[in-house]
Every structure is written in C-alpha cells, then in structure tokens.
Structure 1
Amino acid sequence: MIQIAVFSDVHGNLPALDAVLEDMKKRGIRQKFCLGDLVDFAPWGNEVIEKIRDLNISCLMGNHDERIAFDFPVVPLSKHSEEETEARFIAIDHSKKHISEANKQFLSELPFHLKLNYKIGKKHWNIQLVHSDLSSNDMYLYESENDNVFMDMLKESQSQIIVMGHTHLSFKKSLDHSRWAINCGSVGRSKEENRMASYLILTLDEEKMTPEIIQLNYPTEETVRGIYESGIPDYYANFLKNEKTILS
C-alpha cells in the first residue's frame, strides 16, 4: 500500500498550510504534492513559498503563481462582484510588491503539470496532476462537468486518475470502476461552506485506489488578524469568517 497527499490553493495562508502539513505528518504520509497557487489573499506568501521549497514538496505552477512570477496583468472575471474585483486587484498588487525576487524566480520555474506512476505488484497507477486543466491553469472544472470532459483529459494523459485544484471546491467523481476525476479543494481559501482547510489522500494498492478528502479546522482567527493587519483588503478576512455579506 502507498499513500500520497495532494493539496492546492494555499494562497498565502500559512496557518492553514501548517495545519495540513501537521496532519500529514501525524498520518505518516511522506509522498506530498502541491497543485499550485501559493500566493495572494493572505499575507504569508513568502513564508508559504519558502516552506514548500525547504520541505522539497513537488509543486505545480498555479495561475496566481504565474501572474506573480511574470508580472502578468490582472484581468477581471465576469463571475466576480464589483467588490471582489476591486479587492482582487489590490491583493494581487500586494503580492507583486511583497513577494521577494528569489521567490518569484522559484515560482517561475515550477512545472505546469506532473504525471505520476506508482507500481504496486503488477499494477501500475498513472496519476495526472494539474492545477486546473492539461492546457490551461485557469480553467474552472466543477463536479457538475460532463463526464466526457474528464474522460477526454484522462485519455490525453493516458492516466486512470486526474487530480486538480483551482476552484476551491473539492469533489470525488468516479467515472467507471477504475477511472477518477478528483478535486482536492483548497488549503487556504476554501469556498466550501465550512471554510475548512482541505486536502486529498490517495491510498493505492494492487487492487484499488481509495480517495479521501480531509477537511481540517485551523486557527482561522490568526489568518483573519493577519489580513486585517496587512495591506490585503478586509474582504478576504471576512470571506474566511464566512460572514453573510460574503460573495463567492
């Protein structure tokens, strides 16, 4: 049996990342992979990057990482309210000013996607890791997506399992007896109602793969206070507090 942990979308939330890494440690999980988006929306972008680097955790380049690494312009998204659009511009500008040049260089060198192959007995498990899609790190794919979309991705990557992040909403979707599309959720900016830090454990043996979404409490008040005390808009602190005024 092999267990691997996959997580995504930390978004500068160091207290949430620490909680997730500590849970993995308690479970004895040594194989860890991050699907990107280390920065923006909470004030510990540098610290998050450095922890991922120092722990030698394999990490993909998320759309926010790419934007900060290469100073790409911010494009408004139609799904966002006027309030969130304004807050997003300010938060990303904050990262552009505060992420160190060495950490921007680290982000610029991250791989776009990663394919894993684990052999257990005679069984090969091919697992495709993406931030959001094989060709884009900014594609929103939800559980409601037609199964054929995920089946096409698996066919293109020649994998049985594809794991993604980006939407901040976890799901496990069995496409048939051996193929899966899974979203590991978000560590640092969950859009699920409970706002808990989420990550994925895949348990592999010769006969089957078992996916488990882990959701953890963490000291949210520490992150909220850190945002309030930074130049990041209060919008993101209020989001984590899950106040009724929050827009998704």
Structure 2
Amino acid sequence: MTDIHGNSAALSAVLQDMECHRISHVYCLGDMIAIGPDTNEVLEALFARSDVTMVAGNHEDAVMALLEGKQPLSHGREREHHEWIAAQLDRSFIPRLARLPRAINEMHEGKHLLMLHYHLNGRQQFLPIEKAPSADKLDALYRHSAADAVCFGHHHPVHYFQSARRSYVNPGSLGCCDRPLARYAVMRLSEEAIVTELKAVPYDNRDFLASYTKRNVPDGDFILNVFHGNQQIVP
C-alpha cells in the first residue's frame, strides 16, 4: 500500500479487506500523512501493528523538516498545509517517523523485492515524476538492480508493468482517488513466479470528504478538487 495521505477511512477498509487474504506482511510505501486530515489516526493504526513495515515519502520528509527547524522542499500553499499537519501531529510519532528508511530490500521465497516511495537518484533524493512510465523506461532506470520486483508509489495512478527482467508495481494511492475506492496490491511469491493482484476496495468516504470543511483543512477545496476528483458529498 502507498500514499494513504491521512485518510483513515480508506485505510480501515483496506485493513479489513486484507483479513480475507492470507497476508504475511504489509509494506507501506510512504506518504502516510498530509493531504487528508487524519494523520494521527493513520499513524496510530499502522504503528500499532507488528506486521507493517514503512518507508518515508516526500510528505514525511517535509513535515519532519519543519519539526526539526529545517527548510522543507515544499513552499507556498503546500508549505502552509505541511505546517498545519505538523501542528496537528501527535509528538509521540516523531521518533518513529524519523527512523523510517528511504528504501527496503527484502528476500521472500527466493525473490528480491525493492520497496520505496519513488525512484531515487544517487543522492537518495526522489526523482521527478515520470508522467508516462513504461517497462522499457523502468528497466533502463533499474538496469543495475538485482531486484525481481520494484514496488513504489508517489504517482497516484495505478501502474503495473512486467518486463523480461522484473515486475514494477504501483498500486495507486490508497487514500486519494476520484471515486470511493481504496487501492492496494497483493503479491504472492514463489520460486517460480510473482503474481500480483491489484485491489480496489469500495468504502463510504462521505464523512472523510466532509471532514475537510469540519476541520478547516487549509486549501480544503483545492485538495478535494485535485486529489479527490471534486466528489459530491451526498448525505
């Protein structure tokens, strides 16, 4: 799962759906916080579990920079939003957020998995979003990698590519969608293959959408339009 973006209702729907599958471990690929107002609820649900491993995303980077008195990469309205998120953040989460890695390399069933928020340069900085990714472009980017699968997020649409070298999986943003759907992926590993199932779980997002107004989220109307497709809140 990736890009929960402060949407606890969507996360709850996914965690409940996972109970229907034999999930051995959950990997959360960054941007758990910001955009949505439920930062503390999301982090509480994730940190309470022993079967979840997380990496840091650009929104964790920005909020942590503010909390540490540094200059975040965000500016303008985005920075104002990050300042609001930082002010709302339960301080008990700060040490754990500070320890989140940039990437995770894991071996399961003889398969090498690389999991990260987004593609990194040599200085461990996130690359600009590739608007039209493809297997060929990703193979070129990861030409020196031994990974059998690269899992990432950051770019909110779903992307799944299978090349002769490896699988590339972006399950899409869990918390930001223009429909009431929470997205994630299930990967089943064996020595012979990696089988990926892209999931989209329906959930009731009316209270979540209404919370932007109720909680006075900075630039709430802009966020609802850009990140949630300006869905109408119907009682």
Shorter-chain TM band? 0.7 to 0.9
Aligned to 1:81: none
In structure 2, how many angstroms separate the alpha carbons of the residues matched to 1:126 and 1:26?
26
User: Is 2:152 the partner of 1:164?
Assistant: yes
1:183 matched to which residue of 2?
A: 170
The question of 1:68 aligning with 2:63 is answered yes
Alpha-carbon deviations, 1:51-88, whole Å to 9, x = none? Answer: 11111310000110111112142435xxxxxxxx63x3
Change (3 A) 1:25 1:138: farther
Indicate if the aligned counterparts of 1:63 and 1:138 stay in contact, CA closer than 8 A. no
Shift of 1:30: 2.8
1:44 alignment partner in structure 2: 38
Using the size of structure 1 for normalisation, the TM-score is: 0.81
TM-superposed deviation, 1:46:
1.1
Give the gaps of 5 or more residues in structure 2.
none
Q: Distance in 1 between matches of 2:141 and 2:34?
A: 28
Letter in 2 for 1:199: Y
- Cα 1:166–1:238 shift into 2, 3 Å: same
The one of 125, 139, 159 equivalent to 1:136 is: 125
| Change over 3 Å in CA distance of 1:241–1:136 after alignment to 2 | closer
Question: Residues of 1 paired with 2:95 and 2:49: CA distance?
Answer: 17
User: In 1, are the aligned partners of 2:56 and 2:101 still within 8 Å (CA)?
Assistant: yes
SS in 2 for 1:68: helix
Alpha-carbon distance between aligned partners in 1 of 2:172 and 2:60, rounded to the nearest angstrom: 17
Indicate the larger mover: 107-116 or 228-237.
228-237
1:91 aligns with 2:87: no
Give the Cα–Cα distance (whole angstroms) in 1 for the partners of residues 130 and 113 of structure 2. Answer: 18
Residues 146-176 of structure 1: per-residue CA shift (max 9 Å, x gap)? 5344224444331111010001111110112
* Contact 1:112-1:130 at 8 Å conserved across structures: yes
- Match of 1:242, as an amino acid? G
Q: Which amino acid aligns with 1:94?
A: W
Is this contact kept in 1: 2:224–2:231, CA < 8 A? no
Mapping 1:1-248, distance limit 5 Å: 7-56=1-50, 57-71=52-66, 72-76=71-75, 86=77, 88-119=78-109, 124-134=110-120, 135-137=124-126, 139-142=128-131, 144-176=132-164, 179-190=166-177, 193-194=178-179, 196-232=181-217, 233-235=219-221, 236-239=223-226, 242-243=229-230
User: Unmatched 5+ residue regions in structure 1?
Assistant: 1-6, 77-84
By how many angstroms is 1:181 displaced?
1.3
Structure 2 distance, partners of 1:50, 1:156, is 37
The residue matched to 2:150 in structure 1 has which SS? Answer: strand
| Separation in 2, partners of 1:106, 1:139 | 27
1:35–1:60 CA contact under 8 A, matched in 2? yes
Any idea what the Cα deviations from partners look like across 1:19-78, whole Å, max 9, x if unmatched?
0111011223131110011111111101111211111310000110111112142435xx
Which amino acid is 1:62 matched to? Answer: G
Contact 1:67 1:73 in 2 (8 A): yes
Aligned-residue offset at 1:240:
5.9
Tell me the secondary structure at the aligned position of residue 16 of structure 1.
helix
Structure 1 runs, 4 residues or longer, greater than 4 Å off: 238-241
Question: Which 10-residue stretch deviates more, 227-236 or 9-18?
Answer: 227-236
Report how far residue 210 of structure 1 moved. 1.1
Query: Is the CA contact (8 Å cut-off) linking 1:70 and 1:108 kept in structure 2?
Result: no
% same residue: 21
Change beyond 3 A, Cα 1:132–1:241 = closer
